[in-house]
Every structure is written in structure tokens, then in C-alpha cells.
Chains A and B, each alone.
Chain A
Amino acid sequence: MEIARHWRLKEQRYNLTGTVCTKCGEKSFPPRRVCPKCGSETSAPFTFCGRGEVYSFTTIYEAPTGFNETAPYTVALVRLEEGLLVTAQLTDLGNDKPEIGMPVEMVTRRLRSDGDERGMLVYGYKFRPAVV
């Protein structure tokens, strides 16, 4: 069921909420039950600040279903201030050419429109050039 599959991720998609290991302090996004560093199963929710810089990026012209309307679009790996990487599209670039090291910040945008006749829209995080 597509709707439930996206709805249950709302804390991640809208707030960039992952986890922090209460034992070793390792932060994770996506959230994880088992800490990838120490193996502990005690984690608490942790909301990332949403600021970072572009680690790498590319532009996609041949898009999968659901992305045809937005193609071409630019996808990046963003290094968050907290140190880890997240995959997301770059948006609101205007005349800015994306480059490695560019400071960016999280915004909420439409990610994709479901290819089927129900026309479900999926919203979530993208990153734009940092305003401040």
C-alpha cells in the first residue's frame, strides 16, 4: 500500500528525524534500531539541523516513473553539519550552478507524483542554497 509506505516515514521526510545511540552517541539518518557503530539497541529520536554542504551531485535526464515531470533534476549527496551524508535533490538553484562544497539547507518540497491514476503526491526534504 503506497500511502502507508510513505505516511509512516513522515518524521523523516518532513523533519529529518533520525536516531542517536544513547550508549555511544552515534547519530543515524535514516533512523536505526541497532547502532551501526556499537551494536546497542537503545536509541532515541534525533532531529538533524538540516544544514550542510554538497559532497557530490549529478543531473538526471532519464527519470524513473514518478519523476518525469521534474526531469531534468539534480540529486546530491549532502554532508550534514552533524557529519553524515544524506541523499536528496537540490532545488531553488535559480542561476546558481551547484558545486562541491556549496552550503545548503533543507526545505520541504514535492518529491514525486505517483505514476498511477490515483495521482498521489509525495512530499519530503530537498536542499537549496543556504539563505543565511
Chain B
Amino acid sequence: MTDVIIAGIGQTPVGEHWEISLRSLAVQAIRAAIEDAGGLKPQALFAANVFAPNFSHQAHVGALLVDYAGLAGIEAATFEIGGASGGAALRQAYLAVKSGLVEAALVVGVEKFTDAIGADLETAAATETDSEYEAVHGLTPTAQAALLARRYLHEFNAPAGGLAGFPLTGHINAAGNKNAMYRKAVSLETYQKAEMICEPLNLFDIAPDADGAAAVLLSRRDRLPVDFPHPIVRIAASASVSDTLGLHDRPDPLTFTACQQSVEQALEKAGITREQVDLFEYFDAFSIYAALSLEAAGYAPRGQGWKLAAEGAIARTGQIPCATLGGLKARGNPLGATGVYQAVEAAAQLRGQAGTNQIEGAKVAMIQSLAGPASVAVTHILETL
């Protein structure tokens, strides 16, 4: 079968880009990815975005972006799968290239949070929940995570602050990522003193909404330029699984079933075990999601995921390094773009281009993006050839 190669990667810094528009952000990332791939031209562009229709009053993002990126005429589509949009668009590009029907496909994720402020942000975020049975009661994605965190801490007797290790690890790692939003380590004391946002979640348990765009260009190995300058990274597996949209519709909300199944499918397709994974870019939109994802992925028993962070197992030198360039918490969470940032960062690690954050000898990376509380989980496994 065709090997699907990550030929090019590009990203903008994550943060508040008041002066840059949705399209300009995306075009920066797209052009960077094409240049990184030695000028390889895509035949399709798959855009990932969640809130442009709400915040920027802009639907039809795919068509807009191919035009402004100088790619007019090629196939263009937009994917909205909540927080999993980036992973889902990557999967569509993977399927397109893997099938042989498309020789090179570009994935761009872009999100522009600073086009809205205040209650508009919460209102839009709430549309990611079940509108008729969750949002109408005032529930928001942050509150969903808080409900899970409270139950988790209660059911498994984890200490208050037991989730601190996740944001602390992210911040340590973001310090070495020039594109991260918060490039500064924080102390446990700072975490403990932080403002409570949605009890038991404080400011540091919640990844910041941010502007950003990231792009990857996928192609077949035999279409790479002859002087292709990078170590070759391929997508070894792709898996997407859905669960109920409403959190209340699950028999056991503390098990991220979609997360679990997509990891199992991805490992099987890649023909590897979870122990062979050198780094895991999990989806820490909330610290509790990092814990639940590690448990679902099989790195910790139920109720014990928080200990991996507390005991250093997810540090860069730990048993399963996570959020190696800051994760959502410290790199920032440009929602629709986040899954594409994960792919860019994992590819950089596997190419040996992660600078001071390089995981020594990394050959296999797993990345996972989640929509809501794992209502969709998209998992990819990347490896060096």
C-alpha cells in the first residue's frame, strides 16, 4: 500500500493575534507547509475550523483559503468536528492520499477566537454540547469538564490538586516552543493559588482559547521532490470513533470509550503496542481530559491517570512523554487548528527538529484530538521510516 508521508509542516505562533485576520493566519501556515515540502503543490485542501461562522461571520472557509493561498481551482472543503476538527481533517487528507485518488493533500486548521469576546465565546462554545438537553440548562464545555473532574476526584479519592501535574508539565515544555502561547514554567504554588473558574477546575486546569493556524501537506513517497530535505515521517495509522454527544447519555461518563477504541484501532493498524509509542500528544483541553485520555489509552488503570502526571511519567524523560511542546494548556488551544498543531509538533519530534524539547531517539508518536468529552476521538500514529 501507498505510504502517506508528512511532506510539509507549517504553523503560526499561538496567541492573541488582534492584527491578523482568519484568512491571513491560515495563509501563513499554508505557505509555510508548502515551502517546507520543497514547493510541492496540493490537489486538495481540507480546512479544519469550528467557530468562523460564529466569530468571524465566515462560513465556506475552505474555498476562501484556497483562493487566498494562491491555490484557486483545487478541491476545497471545511471540516467541523468540534475540538477534533484538526484530527478529522488530517484523517480526510490521509484517506484521500492513501486511496491513490489524490497525490498531495493539504490540511490547514485555523481558529480566530479574538474576533469575539465575552458571552459570545461561551454561547458559541455551548453549541458544542447537546443544544436541547445540555446548553439549554446553561451547560458549557468547561462545566462538562468540571462535572467529570468533581466526580473523578470523588470516586477515586484523588487529592484536591491531584490534576496539577498536567498543566505543570505543559508549561515546562512550552518554555522551549517558540510558537507556544505561554512560554513559562509555573510552580505548584502558583497553580494552587490560581482563580477558581468552574469548581473544581481552576485557571490552570483549562487550556486557553487562542488564535492560530497550522498546516501539514501529505503526499505519497514517490511524489516527494528529489532533494526532499527532511527525514521521512509517515502516517502509520488513522482511526476515528464517536460516542454520545450528550455527556448524560453515557452509562459511565468517567470512561472515554471513543478515546479507548480509537487508540486500540490505531495501534492495531500500525502493528505496534502502546509501549512502542515514544510520545503521546493528548488532548488536554482540560486537565481532567488528560487523565481520562491516559487511562483510556491504556497507560494507567481507571482512576489512576492523574498519578502519571504527579509522578513525572509524562515528563520528557518519563515513561510516556506527553504535551512535549506544551500541549493545549501551554501552547494554547486554537480549537479547530489544535489537531493540526499536534501533527506539526509530532512530525517535528520525529524529524529531530524539536530543539531543546527533542525526545531523544523518538521514532513513533501518537496524537489524539477530542471533540467535547471525547464525543469524537481521532487518533493518528506517526513514525519515521
Contact = CB atoms under 8 A, between A and B. Distances in A.
A120 B371 CA distance: 31
B137 A75 contact: yes
B376 to A, nearest CB: 17
Nearest to B155: A100
B228 interface: no
Given A59-B198, A70-B138, A124-B136, A87 B248 contact: yes
Contacts of B120: 65
A53 to B, nearest CB: 13
B154 A89 contact: no
B247 to A, nearest CB: 7
Contacts of A112: 136, 138
A85 B146 CA distance: 16
A64 B133 contact: no
Contacts of A70: 138
Interface in B216-237: none
A60 B147 contact: no
A122 B136 contact: yes
Q: Specify which of A57, A62, A86, A122 lies most central, judged by the most chain B CB atoms within 10 Å of its CB.
A: A62
Contact of B199 (A59, A85, A87): A59
A70 B139 CA distance: 13
A65 B119 contact: yes
B143 A56 contact: no
Given A59-B198, A64-B123, A73 B147 contact: no
Query: What is the predominant secondary structure among interface residues of chain A facing chain B?
Result: strand
B138 A89 contact: yes
A23 to B, nearest CB: 19
A49 interface: no
A93 interface: no
Given A58-B143, A86-B248, A64 B132 contact: no
A7 interface: no
Contact of B198 (A55, A61, A76, A126): A61
A54 to B, nearest CB: 10
Contacts of A25: none
For chain B, give the interface size range: 35 or more
Given A77-B147, A85-B248, A87-B246, A64 B199 contact: no
Interface centre among A12, A64, A126 (most CB of B within 10 A): A64
B150 interface: yes
Nearest to B118: A62
B103 interface: no
Contacts of B135: 64
A100 B247 contact: no
A107 to B, nearest CB: 13
Interface in B232-281: 246-250, 253
B33 interface: no
Given A30-B133, A75-B138, A85 B119 contact: no
A22 interface: no
Contacts of A100: 150-151, 154
B138 A55 contact: no
Interface in B124-153: 125-126, 130, 132-140, 142-143, 146-148, 150-151
A68 interface: yes
A12 to B, nearest CB: 8
B197 interface: yes
A58 B122 contact: no
Given A63-B122, A77-B253, A58 B248 contact: no
Top 7 A-B pairs, shortest CB-CB distance? A58-B146, A85-B248, A56-B151, A64-B122, A64-B123, A56-B147, A65-B123
